[in-house]
């Protein structure tokens, strides 16, 4: 089970990894939950578009051959090496801003950074949910004993949509699936990772929120009612 990145080409998924599409629901422009809107029938192997040019999104149709530069520029470092540390009485919140994919779950109710300091148990639980919903793993939460408070994801892939603001988001990789570069190196395995599918990230293969700037819309989804 792994994802192999083809040079200037798609993400090759191997090992019967389930694939679905998630959209968001929330208040105003701030999402509060994911809604599954589609399940894809996939085999043991499939290829996902990362150039935005495919007419069969989320799957590759070979369009990358036209003009896609998929050069990988992400420098694979230890997550904690670049993460800011915020400590409250009950939690340690790690924030690695370089991984942000703009999902915005962290912004509800004044934000995760405020909620971890709350004395209200419901708000503290909300902080845990917000971190779990951070698809890129920018935010990581530990208790005061240093134990990770992390969702127990089975290996799966989700295509993310953001109909609240009308853009298509990244590919969400869940459950510690190895990701192999086009040169055969394997990135440090993480529970939550977001991969670019608009083709414009400056931090390939990771999403860097460029889909907002280019207003990327997956026409296979947004031509439907959302």
Phi, psi of 26, deg, nearest 5: -175, -165
| Whole-number Å distance between alpha carbons of 151 and 9 | 31
Q: What is the pLDDT of residues 65-93, one digit of tens each?
A: 878 999 999 999 999 999 999 999 999 99
Residues 132 and 105: beta-carbon distance below 8 Å: no
The predicted model gives 105-121 an average pLDDT of 96
Q: What is the pLDDT of residues 26-64, one digit of tens each?
A: 988 999 999 999 999 999 999 999 999 999 999 999 999
The yes-or-no verdict on residue 114 having pLDDT over 70 is yes
| Whole-number Å distance between alpha carbons of 72 and 152 | 29
Question: In terms of residues, how long is the chain?
Answer: 226
Closest CA to 71 of 151, 7, 126: 7
Residues 100 and 209: beta-carbon distance below 8 Å: yes
Position 27 scores a pLDDT of 82
Q: Where are the alpha helices (DSSP H) in 12-78?
A: none
The yes-or-no verdict on residue 224 having pLDDT over 80 is no
Q: How confident is the model at residue 225 (pLDDT cuts 50, 70, 90)?
A: low
């Amino acid at each position: 089970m792994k994802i192999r990145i083809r040079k200037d080409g798609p993400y090759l998924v191997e090992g019967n990894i389930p694939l679905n599409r998630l959209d968001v629901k929330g208040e105003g422009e701030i999402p509060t939950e994911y809604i599954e809107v589609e399940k894809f029938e996939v085999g043991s192997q499939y290829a996902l578009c990362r150039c935005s040019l495919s007419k069969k999104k989320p799957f590759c149709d070979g369009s990358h051959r036209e003009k896609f530069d998929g050069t990988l520029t992400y420098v694979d470092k230890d997550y904690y090496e670049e993460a800011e540390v915020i400590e409250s009485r009950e939690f340690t919140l790690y924030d690695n801003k370089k991984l942000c994919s703009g999902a915005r779950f962290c912004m509800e109710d004044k934000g995760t950074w405020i909620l971890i300091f709350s004395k209200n148990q419901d708000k503290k639980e909300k902080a845990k949910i917000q971190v779990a919903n951070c698809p890129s793993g920018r935010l990581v939460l530990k208790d005061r004993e240093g134990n990770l408070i992390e969702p127990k994801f089975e290996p799966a892939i989700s295509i993310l949509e953001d109909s609240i603001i009308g853009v298509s988001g990244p590919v969400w990789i869940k459950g510690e699936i190895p990701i192999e570069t086009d040169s055969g190196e394997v990135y440090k395995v993480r529970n939550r990772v977001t991969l670019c599918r608009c083709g414009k990230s400056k931090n390939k293969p990771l999403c860097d929120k460029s889909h907002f700037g280019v207003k990327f819309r997956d026409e296979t989804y947004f031509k439907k009612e959302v």
